[in-house]
Amino acid sequence: MITGSLTALVTPFKDGRLDAKAYEDFIDWQIREGSNGLVPCGTTGETSTLATGEHIEAIEICVKTSAGRVPVIAGVGSNNTASAAYMAREAQKAGADAVLAVAPYYNKPSQEGMYQHFRVISQTIDIKIVIYNIPGRSVVDIDVETMGRIAALPNVIGVKDATSDISRVTEYKSVCGEDFIQLSGDDPTALAHWAHGGIGCISVASNVAPAQCAAFHKACAEGDFAKARGLHERLDGLFKDLFLCASPAPAKYALSLLGRMNEDVRLPIIPCKDSTKMAVQAAMRKAGVEF
């Protein structure tokens, strides 16, 4: 079941290359700390700067290292439908449990164009598909009616919604059905998303605080919203301060403090500035992350 705290994994680099050993260790640590699922090669994984071979390698490492302990939802998004379909096939070949496919960015397709994009991906693979709607990055917004049409495709099982519009949860339920998995794409709104009927979050903060994020989502799943609010308040600074500079630079800086990887990022992302580093350190302390 895809639910709970699902980490949008950063991709560690060393000397300009994917650091496979650091990635393996990081994935194993995430699972041991309680993360309920892993999402390699999403936005937080700097996928737009990965070569095709690196993208496939990152998915393969994640699948192999996780070894069936938690679901792997591999990012395959592209604004080129043929490229997205190709990467979806590679993710299936690597053994991913599902793929995460973003609305085509930059091209500004119509609602029909977006539907056809996801239809092609659906026809290409047999594994499950989670749709990723993030208008802030892709410019286009998958509207509720279109999401209903997409949800009817045979292997589409849910959505990662990063619109921050909590009313979407109810609206999607009305057109996609009760079984349609709804995941928040924004840590700060995950609490409200759960309250409206969502069942988890594809999280950036869980890169740095996997145990704390897992505990927060467990409280939400159990309906203990008093406990969940307390955990949310401890994590709120981390939720926000990991975006004070372009992501994932702050998250990688935090992970470097934990000895998990270098803080190396790829252009056009640059290392975070000193003021952000100080804020991240303070947020980590408040969240109970020891470094």
Query: Is there a catalytic annotation at residue 86?
Result: no
Separation in Å, CA 169 to CA 90, 198, 223: 31, 7, 17
d(CA 75, CA 41): 5
Q: In whole angstroms, what is the distance from residue 182 CA to residue 102 CA?
A: 15
Two tokens at 151?
């949800």
7, 233, 242, 285 from 281: Cα distances, Å: 20, 16, 10, 6
Among 209, 227, 193, CA closest to 288: 209
d(C-alpha 259, C-alpha 234), whole Å: 22
Q: Where are the alpha helices (DSSP H) in the chain?
A: 20-32, 52-66, 81-94, 111-124, 135-138, 144-151, 167-176, 190-195, 210-221, 225-241, 249-257, 274-287
Residue 100 has φ and ψ, to the nearest 5°, of -110, 115
10 Å CB burial of residue 139 (0-12, 13-18, 19+) is: middle
115 given a catalytic annotation: no
Active-site residue, selected from the candidate residues 23, 115, 128, 160: 160
Q: What are the φ/ψ torsions at residue 77 (nearest 5 degrees)? A: -65, 145
Q: Which of 23, 115, 132, 253 is catalytic?
A: 132
Amino acid at residue number 157: I
Catalytic residue ranges: 132, 160
